Structure 1
Amino acid sequence: MKFLTVLLASSLLAFLPVSANAASAQEIDAKVNQTLKEFYHHSPAGKELARKAVGVLIFPDVIKAGMGIGGEYGEGALRLGGKTAAYYNVASASIGFQLGAQIKSEVLLFMSQEALDKFRNSDGWEAGVDGSVALATVGAGGQIDSNTVQQPIIGFIFSNKGLMYNLSIEGSKITRIDR
């Protein structure tokens, strides 16, 4: 299974620009800052939740590409108290009917210290296995479902056009990287 994951990830890397694989800490931080501005613009309710979160994990550019075999990859930063504490990547692979590419941003809000500690102490954290992520949807008036707000980890997925729906980060592997 591990060989298949490596094979799928390798085929995904063929679709990505070289610069996407080697972003410096400064480049990641600049993209994270811009992504947070966009996130707060698209979701004032998300901004309020982010202020209450004990940690915020931001992936500015998660590139998803596929042609039968697909995958996604992105690099980002964990912010604690508004400052970068560590850098991470997110990756996943899939098999099935798919053709094309898209870029999205992901923001994960850790609402409890316990959820954040479990994430930080893991050696590769998988969404849906190591922790459940409640994806937020914004209803009328910009409000987030009250059940979602009470979850330990809340996720937002968006593009430059706004929040995206019917997407998932289940099965995505998040690993700490050195920058």
Structure 2
Amino acid sequence: MKNSNSIWVVMMVFMLCIAPVFGQSTAKKNKIIADSKMAKVEFVKADALMKGLFEDAYGYVIFPNVGKAGFGIGGAAGNGVVYERGKIAGMAKLSQVSIGFQAGGQAYREVIFFEGKNDLERFKGSQFEFSAQASAVAVTAGASTNVKYAGGVMVFTMQKGGLMYEASVGGQKFQFNKL
């Protein structure tokens, strides 16, 4: 029984990680774009100071729906929209695998701000990933007050639902696709 649970978890993680690799239909892209606009509204609603970050950043990517699950081995995946100077520049895919103490599942939003053109170009070149040491700020009122760019990026997350206990090691990888 324990062996079949492990196999099920590994299969689930595998599916989470490869699902974003497959092509997206126009309807799906339009839904992701609409969801990213709503996520932006929700980020600003939670912390009004984020409005300035969206206006001042050279670019940003919004992942409106990231799903994460794990039991020992975990994974996360999501699709997002990349903005350059406030205009849509393309679509992005996020994937993550983690190993460690973790159990449960959750859904969250993530936004990554890029300080300058070179930072965004590195992301668009699909040569951008976060190590296990990278940290994100959980969005609450005033959370963005003292946050500064680190390596040309700032990351914010917002919990949508679910419950997950975690003390794991893993990193996020991204893939950019022009529209």
Deviation >4 Å, runs of 4+? 13-16, 166-170
TM-score (norm 2): 0.73
The question of whether the paired residues in 1 share the 8 Å contact of 2:99 and 2:169 is answered with: no
Letter in 1 for 2:129: E
User: What is the CA-CA distance between 1:145 and the residue it aligns to?
Assistant: 4.8
1:62-109 per-residue CA deviation (whole Å, 9 max, x = no partner) reads 100012211000000101233211111111111222221100000011
CA–CA distance in 1 between the matches of 2:71 and 2:104? 7
The CA deviation at 1:112 is 1.6
Give me the identity figure in percent.
27
Q: Secondary structure at the match of 1:37?
A: helix
Aligned residue runs from structure 1 range 19-168, under 5 A: 22=24, 24-120=28-124, 122-128=125-131, 135-136=136-137, 142=142, 144-146=144-146, 148-151=147-150, 152-160=152-160
Per-residue CA deviations over 1:21-60 (Å, capped at 9, x if unaligned) read 7562111101111111101101111111111001010000
Q: Is the 8 A contact 1:88 1:174 kept in 2?
A: yes
Q: How many residues align?
A: 161
- Name the SS for the 1:142 alignment partner: coil
Q: Which has more strand, going by share of residues?
A: 2
SS of 2:174's equivalent in the other structure is strand
The whole-number CA distance in structure 1 between the counterparts of 2:89 and 2:169 is 22
1-structure distance, mates of 2:144, 2:56: 14
| 1:45–1:113 distance in 2 versus 1, CA, 3 Å | same
- Aligned-pair RMSD on alpha carbons? 3.4
Gaps of 5+ in 1: 1-7
One-letter identity of the residue aligned with 2:153: I
The alpha-carbon distance between structure 1 residues 143 and 87, as it changes in their structure 2 partners (threshold 3 A), is closer
Q: State the distance in 2 between where 1:169 and 1:58 align.
A: 23
Q: For residue 61 of structure 1, give the secondary structure of its aligned residue in structure 2.
A: strand
Separation of aligned partners in 2, 1:10 and 1:88:
23
Shift of 1:159: 2.1
Q: TM-score, normalised by structure 1?
A: 0.73
